[in-house]
Amino acid sequence: MVELATLRLFGPAREAAGTDRFEFEATTVADLMSEASRRFGVDFDRVLGRSRLWVNGEPAGGERTIDDTDEVAVVPPVSGG
């Protein structure tokens, strides 16, 4: 069954996508990221390549299954001083 998961975007990922939140149908994190890359384009894909993925506040890989209660976040690298 395909679920509607919430994708949250921060910093450069938000800028590249033009939004901070979107909902996609997907069964895994990899499916969700593939659909987001297709929808948001090459600039988003570049940011995604250097970002971390989290599901419900925990680090997650592409194989992680998701459902309609999950929130997937794209967290770009940060620097501080």
Write down the CATH superfamily of domain 3-75.
Beta-grasp domain (3.10.20.30)
Six-digit token pair at 38? 């297709």
> Using an 8 Å Cβ cutoff, are 64 and 27 in contact?
no
Q: In this model, does residue 58 exceed pLDDT 60?
A: yes
Tell me the β-bridge partners of 52.
Answer: 75
Alpha helices, H only, 1-81: 11-17, 29-40, 42-48
Q: In this model, does residue 80 exceed pLDDT 60?
A: no
Convert the pLDDT of each residue in 10-53 to its tens digit: 999 999 999 999 998 899 999 999 999 999 999 999 999 999 99
Spans of all domains in the chain: 3-75
Model pLDDT, residue 37: 95
> Using an 8 Å Cβ cutoff, are 24 and 3 in contact?
no
Six-digit token pair at 76? 């770009």
